[in-house]
Amino acid sequence: MADLKVNLAGIESPNPFWLASAPPTNMGSMVERAFDAGWGGAVWKTIGEPIVNVCSRLASVDYGPVRMMGLNNIELISDRPTEVNIEEMRQVKRKYPKHSVIASLMVESKKEAWEEISKRVEDAGVDGIELNFGCPHGMSERGMGSAMGQVPDYTCMVTEWVKGATKLPVIVKLTPNITSINYPARAAVRGGADALSLINTINSVMGVDIDTMIPYPNVNGKAAHGGYCGPAVKPIALNMVSELARDPEVGIPISGIGGIGTWRDAVEFLLLGATNVQVCTAVMHYGYRIVEDMIDGLSNYLDEKGFASVQDIIGLSSNRVTDWGNLDLKYKTVARIDHSKCIQCNLCYVACEDGAHQCIHFTQIGTKKFPFVDEDECVGCNLCNLVCPAPGCITMTRVDDGQQSMTWREYSAK
C-alpha cells in the first residue's frame, strides 16, 4: 500500500484529498462527517463579515444525459456568525488532530481587519489560512475576492499583512479571471505566500430560459454572473496549475482545484505539479462518499505503477508541458482504421470531410462500405480518432523513422 500522506507547505494530511472552501464545508458538523468519510482536509467555507444571500444561487450546464457538467453559483461567503465558525473550527481540530483544517478568509481591504481575523483563527488551532482572492461574484463588487486577486499589488499587500500577523502557513487562492495567472501568483510569492491554490471559479452566465427569457439562476426575474466550476473547467485549471508549476518565479507548492471528481482527475493534477487537490462540485453532486474511491483508486494506481508514496508522482509530467515552439515538427502520425472494429457510423468520414483535411474515403468490402485513410493526405490531426465511438478502431500510428527532430525554434533560427 502506497503512502498517501502529503505535506503542503508544512500542512500534513492523511491523503491529498481536501474539500474546497464551499457549501460542503459550511459548518463543523459537515466537516466532521466529511472527515469520517475519509477526506484528508477541509478548507472551511470562507468567513468574514456575515452576508445575506439570494435565492436561487446555483445553475448548471447539462451535456446530453450528463447532469451538471458545469455548475455555477452566486452564493457569497459564510452567512453564519464568525465567532460560531471559529469556535466550530476549534472543536473539529480538537476532535480530528490528524486532519487538516484550513480557514478561508475574506475581509475588507484594511490591514487591521486581516490581522484581527488571522489571529483569531490561529488561536482556534487551524492548520493554515487560505486567502480568498478568487470569488468572482458579489464580494468582488465590494472590493473583495477576485477584485483583490485581479490586481497583483493588492494580492502582494494583503498576503504581507496576513503573513505579518500569523505564523500559520498561508495559501493564496487565485482567480482564473485574469489574462495571465503568473502575475498574481508571483505577487503572492512576493508577499510571502507559503502555497497557492487554484483555480477559483470562472465568470459565467449559465444560460437563458428561452421560454421566460430570464437567464439562470433566476433571482426574481434577474440574474448575475456567477462562478463556473465542475468537470467542464478541469482543462482550464490544469493549464493554470502547470503554468505555475513550471514558473521559476513561483516555486511554492500548489493545491490544485477545478473539476476534480475522481482519483484519475487528481492524478492528472499531481502529475502536472499540484501537491494536493481540493474538491467541491463532485461532492455537491454525489456527497462526501466519493472520496472512498478516490483514495482506493489512487492507492491502487500507485501500487500498480510501483510508487511508494503519492509524493513521488508530483510534477512528473510537468516538464512535458512546454511551449509550442519546442514541439518536434518531424514527428509524424497518421490515422489507421481497423475494419474489424469499425461499426460503419461514418463519423470519421464526415468529421474529416467537413472539419479536417478530406483524407478519409470509402471502400467496398463485401457487402459493407468502410472508411479508409489516404495516408499521403492525412495530417495526423487526430479528429477522426476523437469522434470514433468504437474503442481501438482508429489508432494514430507513427510513420516517421524517429531519426530526426526539429522544433519551430530550431527551424526559425536557421
Q: Which stretch binds another protein (CB under 8 A): 76-84, 187-195, 225-233, 343-351?
A: 343-351
Minimum Å gap between C-beta 395 and another protein is: 17
Euclidean distance between CA atoms 233 and 72, whole angstroms = 11
Name which position in 208, 224, 308, 343 contacts another protein (CB under 8 A): 343
One of 135, 229, 342, 378 is an active-site residue; which one?
135
Minimum Å gap between C-beta 200 and another protein is: 32
Restricting to residues 364-403, name those near another protein by CB under 8 A: 389-390
Nearer to another protein, 368 or 398 (CB): 368
Minimum Å gap between C-beta 259 and another protein is: 22
Name which position in 64, 248, 306, 392 contacts another protein (CB under 8 A): 64
Q: Which stretch binds another protein (CB under 8 A): 71-79, 110-118, 280-288, 339-347?
A: 339-347
Restricting to residues 229-268, name those near another protein by CB under 8 A: none
Contact status: 344 vs another protein (CB under 8 A): yes
Contact status: 54 vs another protein (CB under 8 A): no
Contact status: 221 vs another protein (CB under 8 A): no
Minimum Å gap between C-beta 287 and another protein is: 23
Minimum Å gap between C-beta 208 and another protein is: 14
Nearer to another protein, 95 or 369 (CB): 369
Contact status: 349 vs another protein (CB under 8 A): yes
**Residue 342 annotated in active site:** no
Minimum Å gap between C-beta 371 and another protein is: 10
Contact status: 65 vs another protein (CB under 8 A): yes
Name which position in 346, 395, 397, 407 contacts another protein (CB under 8 A): 346
Nearer to another protein, 179 or 367 (CB): 367
Q: Are strands 333-337 and 394-398 parallel, antiparallel or unpaired?
A: antiparallel
Residues in contact with another protein by the rule CB under 8 A:
64-65, 343-347, 349-350, 389-390
Active-site positions? 135
